[in-house]
Amino acid sequence: MPMTLKVYEVNRTGTVRVLREETEVIPFERPETSHDFPACECPICAEVAS
């Protein structure tokens, strides 16, 4: 099942700049392990995990 992807950045004043226009992509069945986000280390998540 294809999905759409658009890459943009927002600066601290709220200005949006499109880096890549919207395009259709086909996702992997299972993302590679190297694409996983690391575990959150913020104080709230650290407290919940313990």
In this prediction, residue 7 carries a pLDDT of: 95
Rounded to an integer, the average pLDDT of 24-33 is: 80
How many distinct structural domains can be found in the chain? 1
Q: What element of type H or E holds 46?
A: helix 43-49
Q: What is the reported pTM?
A: 0.45
Question: What percent of the chain is predicted at pLDDT more than 90?
Answer: 42
* Residue 43 maps to a domain: no
* Residue 50 maps to a domain: no
Residue 34 DSSP SS3: helix
In this prediction, residue 20 carries a pLDDT of: 94
Q: Which residues contact 6 (CB under 8 A, 6 or more apart)?
A: 18, 20, 21, 22, 23
* Residue 19 maps to a domain: yes
